[in-house]
Amino acid sequence: MSIELLTGILLLCILVAFALGAPVGLALAGIAMGVGYMTWGDGIFNVIPTTVEATFFSFILLAIPLYIYMGQLLTKSGIGDAMFNASQMVLGKVRGSLAISVICVCSMIGAMVGIIGAGIMTSGSIALRPMLERGYNKRLALGVIMAGGGLGILIPPSIPMIMFAASTQNSVGRMFLAAMVPALITVVLLIAYVVVSCRLNPDRAPITKADFDNQQLSPMAKMRVARDGFLSILLIVVVLGSIISGIATPTESGAIGVVGAILLAIVFKRFKLDMFRAAGLQTGVLVSVAMWIILGASVFSNFHLLMGVQAMVADFTDTLDLPPIMIIIMFQVIMLLLGFIIDEFIIVLMCAPLFTPIAVSLGYDPIWFGVLMIINILIAVQTPPYGFALFYLKGIAPPEVGMGEIYKSVTPFILLNLTVLIICMVFPELVLWLPNLVMN
Amino acid sequence: MFTQVLQRLCRSIDFVVMLAGYFASFLMPFLAAIVAYEVFSRYFLNHPTIWAFDLSLFLFGYIAALGGAYAQQKKAHINVDILYLKVSPHTRRVFNLFSYSLAIFFLVLVVKLGFEKYEEAIEFDYRTQSEWAPPMFHFWIMMCVASVLFIAQFSRDMVAEIYHLVTGNPLIAPENDDNDEY
Amino acid sequence: ADVSAAEHNWRFGNLYGRGTAFGEIYEDLAKNIETMSDGRIAVQVLYSGEGVGTSGLLGATKSGLITMGAPFQSMHAGELPAGIVEIGLPGGTDDPDELYSLFHEKGWDKVLEKAYGSQGLVWLEPYIQPPVYVLTKEPINSVADFEGLKIRAPGAYGKFLRNLGASPVSLAWSEIYTSLATGVIDGSIGSNMIDHRDGNHVEVAKYMYKLPLAGAQVLPIVVNRSAWKKLPEDLQKVVREATVIHAKEQLEKSRQWESEAVAEMEAKGLQWSPEPSEADKAAWAEAGAGLWDEYSAQDKYSKQLIDILKQQ
Ligand code: NA
Ligand code: NA
């Protein structure tokens, strides 16, 4: 069977299984093994143990449980509320203030974590409940968390950037610096979108009694909100500081965050054994959900790669004869399409070494191309039907929020990311200015 | 009588799966503590441990794998529910029978291959690649146990769906639990 | 490779990325097998991350998921301990002629064929890659400066550095850069100079120590036994010959690339720590020798290899 036909059959099977509502990870793995058995024989089953080892034994992914745990403790100990109460007091009656705070808090969290899941899980478990409680439009609330959480891979440190730099022999430092301006543009655009859309549709972000309560507190109570907020932000400083000062790696800083969250809960006199137990249980479930998806998706893509899908992509780009910028655009389109079925790490591992040499031979800067790839991946993880960010968000959303609603909620934010992608494509100096300034 | 047997079977599976889920979640604080201790030991005592790296990865694997069945019990696994939420509960049960079979097919393979890997690990005394080099065999036993529990939970759910399809009544009346809290 | 026309369809996994210099050498090996067998064997090359993770390469070759593999033994220290001795213990020789004689005349080949054979693998012509060096943030003026340094070094290399008073740290490869930058670690080894260059480590740590941790590294090419048995004798001979050509290419190219990598890093600010004294060299050798007995006691094939070494 040709790889093109195989890819078509796999896509068809996924479409059917997803439509029937099958659990995403197990369905992907089941389809790969079923189709694999028919095309390859039972030898393909051996992909399971190697994939289990690679996913369940990955130090990079260890950041997922640690950051989810930290996020759960923040929520359940009331620290998350404290953070948002404080920002609410500062931003006052600005419409959509809570959503703006989400983006600000997410940017800070993004500067701590290097993967997308941990960012969404942490910020989602802190921010979603307060927003829904205050009557925010559900789509705005969900979308802003996804967009903010996604900053985890756009704001350094970023695991996909490290993987890109490593697989194309480029400087990680340059890569990190190059992403700074695009990340800043993204943050500004996100905030601008929230402000404008809330001004145009005031009912998307109602100003509630809670907002007034925050404003009309007694000076003593205001002091208390400020102190709690300050202590909570101090936690972010501690986590970030532990990375910058060389105490911990980005992965390990999640554990520092857990310890900090427990200490804060004790300071706030909200530490109860029951809260602690509930945070652990919820973390356990969310970690299992994430890891069984990652395992299933990896079994699927490993099978697809062993069958030679990477050669298909390479042949396809080789045979076309296009002007340079069209090739760059085509690469972006291919990655966006790949993003429909595979996850962000695999896209980098597969496409970075395939595409970057071609981009360089056409006269483009590899770092610029890498940043485009990262923004592209940011979009890919948020696009249906298969997008990791979507699944993470579904994992923390209230049960009545369906996948359709989540798909709709991300649309404006994907368009914003697409805008940033195009801006960076048209104005390469936005990407290259900072690294050239600092490192040359 | 037959109904009671089925109910008892389902409740027993629910109980064992719940225990495994609780066990996995109890490991979570230990995981965080081990990673935090490694940071402390390396930075403040200037003495990195040789065991924290492997031990934290093992705990991560245990938590991630063993919680899978419990997450299914709580219907926490993610699906694309655009069509799923639009069809009747009856159709949804038929869909579930298909989905769960596909999942069980994969999980059976995990058990089979995991057991082979366990035997290999015992025969050749497989260890991790680190200086500490703890044995690997227990990881594969755990993987088999986790998958067997997962299969049991899916089978139990299929039995309940079939019962409901055939008799028109739920096998076990749904409890009123808040889905957000596990 | 035209998959449908060949009698034998092989998948060959290696640890390097698509389009990298080393990746091309493995591509050449695959092409040589195809042309020398007149297309009777087709070889699909799988690069880093393409279907099999870096630490799963040996297991995947055993199970037949891939037919042929170029694993890095340190990744499989717990699976096949003799590989750690094979790759070269700290303090070993870097002379290709001496290594050739060790592997082909003094009997290491027989031991390794058995060691890999016991796990269902056929061991083919090994090849030499450049030595392992340690890169540090501060200059090492004497061996005593290693005392208390936190250095990312897995397995045997970690033990070696511990013998010198350093504290080995376990980190994922992708964490090295940021950990060096922020000071989580004071230094790191790379699998060779090219690895340090590719990781851009010199941006965040400048000083390379002159003495290598292992003189040279010897890596194997392994083939799944049942796939091997399916080959008629003439094709087995073809594959063996192709791996001999591959070993030569590795030796020539890797020397050249190593010096290019060093030159590139020097242009980016790499500096060498001061020339080690005789006492430093002695302490270095002693730290390495301490490991022989330890490894010998762990595994029967390791013992056989080390016994041969001791007879030299
Ligand atoms: Na980040
Ligand atoms: Na997608």
If residue C207 lies in a helix (H) or strand (E), which one and from where to where?
Answer: strand C207-208
Predicted complex: ipTM over 0.90:
yes
Q: Which residue of A lies nearest to B147 if distances are taken between CA atoms? A: A292
Query: For residue A149, which ligand has an atom nearest its CA?
Result: 1
Q: What is the pLDDT of residue A210?
A: 64
Give chains near A: 3+ CB pairs under 8 A: B, C
Between B42 and A358, the more confident residue is B42
Q: For residue C65, give how far its alpha carbon lies from the nearest alpha carbon of chain B (Å).
A: 13
Between C3 and C251, the more confident residue is C251
Closest of A375, A422, A391 to residue A155, by C-alpha? A375
**Interface contacts (A, B; CB < 8 Å):** 209
Sheet holding C217-224, edge to edge: C41-46, C8-13, C68-69, C217-224, C121-129
If residue A67 lies in a helix (H) or strand (E), which one and from where to where?
Answer: helix A63-76
Residue B173 has pLDDT above 50, yes or no: yes
Question: Does residue A3 belong to the interface with chain C, where contact is any CB pair within 8 Å?
Answer: no
Q: What is the pLDDT of residue A98?
A: 81
- With CB atoms and an 8 Å threshold, state whether B64 touches A292: yes
Q: What is the pLDDT of residue B182?
A: 60
Q: For residue A265, give how far its alpha carbon lies from the nearest alpha carbon of chain C (Å).
A: 28
Number of domains in chain B: 1
Q: For residue A318, give how far its alpha carbon lies from the nearest alpha carbon of chain C (Å).
A: 14
Q: What is the pLDDT of residue B180?
A: 47
Q: For residue A34, give how far its alpha carbon lies from the nearest alpha carbon of chain B (Å).
A: 9
Q: Which of A25, A30, A289 is opposite residue B105, by nearest beta carbon?
A: A30
Question: Does residue B47 belong to the interface with chain C, where contact is any CB pair within 8 Å?
Answer: yes
Question: Does residue A398 belong to the interface with chain B, where contact is any CB pair within 8 Å?
Answer: yes
Q: What is the pLDDT of residue B175?
A: 65
Q: Which residues of A touch C181 (CB under 8 A)?
A: 173
Q: Please state the domain extents for chain A.
A: 3-439
Question: Does residue A169 belong to the interface with chain C, where contact is any CB pair within 8 Å?
Answer: yes
Cβ atoms within 10 Å, residue A425: 19
Sheet holding C150-152, edge to edge: C167-169, C150-152, C187-189, C134-136, C207-208, C271-272
- With CB atoms and an 8 Å threshold, state whether C168 touches B128: no
- With CB atoms and an 8 Å threshold, state whether A171 touches C64: no
Cα of C145 vs centre of ligand 2, distance in Å, is: 50
Give chains near C: 3+ CB pairs under 8 A: A, B
Q: Over the Cα atoms of chain C, what is R_g?
A: 20
Cα of A379 vs centre of ligand 2, distance in Å, is: 7
Cα of C176 vs centre of ligand 1, distance in Å, is: 16
Low-confidence spans in chain A with pLDDT less than 50: none
Q: Which of B50, B124, B129 is opposite residue C55, by nearest beta carbon?
A: B129
Q: What is the pLDDT of residue C1?
A: 43
Query: Do the Cβ atoms of C225 and C106 come closer than 8 Å?
Result: no
Q: What is the pLDDT of residue C2?
A: 46
Q: For residue C244, give how far its alpha carbon lies from the nearest alpha carbon of chain B (Å).
A: 29
Q: Which of B54, B124, B129 is opposite residue C77, by nearest beta carbon?
A: B129
| Across A221-235, B99-113, C142-156, least confident range | A221-235
Q: Which of B43, B85, B181 is opposite residue A278, by nearest beta carbon?
A: B181
Interface of A with C in 241-300 (CB under 8 A): 243-251
Burial of A42 (0-12, 13-18, 19+ CB in 10 A): exposed
Structure tokens belonging to residue B38: 């490694």
| Across A33-37, A55-59, C85-89, C171-175, least confident range | C171-175
Q: Provide the sign of the torsion angle of the four alpha carbons A57, A61, A66, A72, taken in this order.
A: negative
CA angle, A148 then A151 then A155, to 5°? 145
Our CA dihedral for B148, B150, B151, B157, rounded to 10 degrees, sits at: 150
**pTM for the full predicted model:** 0.89
Cα of A149 vs centre of ligand 1, distance in Å, is: 9
Interface of A with B in 65-94 (CB under 8 A): 65-66, 69
Cα of A383 vs centre of ligand 2, distance in Å, is: 4
- With CB atoms and an 8 Å threshold, state whether B136 touches C55: no
Q: What is the pLDDT of residue B179?
A: 47
Q: What is the pLDDT of residue B181?
A: 53
At which residue do the structure tokens 């941790």 appear? C213
Q: Which of B53, B116, B119, B131 to mutate to test the interface with C (most CBs of C within 10 A)?
A: B131
Our CA dihedral for A387, A390, A392, A396, rounded to 10 degrees, sits at: -170
Q: Which residues of C touch A356 (CB under 8 A)?
A: 19
Question: Does residue A412 belong to the interface with chain C, where contact is any CB pair within 8 Å?
Answer: no
Query: Do the Cβ atoms of B104 and B151 come closer than 8 Å?
Result: yes
Q: What is the pLDDT of residue A440?
A: 63
| Range(s) of the domain holding residue B98 | 2-180
- With CB atoms and an 8 Å threshold, state whether B35 touches A255: yes
Query: For residue A340, which ligand has an atom nearest its CA?
Result: 2
Q: Which residues of A touch B106 (CB under 8 A)?
A: 26, 29-30, 33, 296, 299
Q: Provide the sign of the torsion angle of the four alpha carbons C240, C241, C246, C251, taken in this order.
A: positive
Q: What is the pLDDT of residue C103?
A: 95
Q: What is the pLDDT of residue B178?
A: 47
Amino acid at residue number A48: I
Residue C165 has pLDDT above 70, yes or no: yes
Q: Which residue of A lies nearest to C204 if distances are taken between CA atoms? A: A173
Query: For residue A335, which ligand has an atom nearest its CA?
Result: 2
- Percent of all residues in chain C with a pLDDT value above 70, rounded to a whole number: 99
Query: For residue A67, which ligand has an atom nearest its CA?
Result: 1
> In which region does residue B46 sit, left (phi positive, over 0), alpha (psi from -120 to 50) or beta (all else)?
left
Q: Which of C65, C79, C152 to mutate to test the interface with B (most CBs of B within 10 A)?
A: C79
Query: Do the Cβ atoms of A384 and A407 come closer than 8 Å?
Result: yes
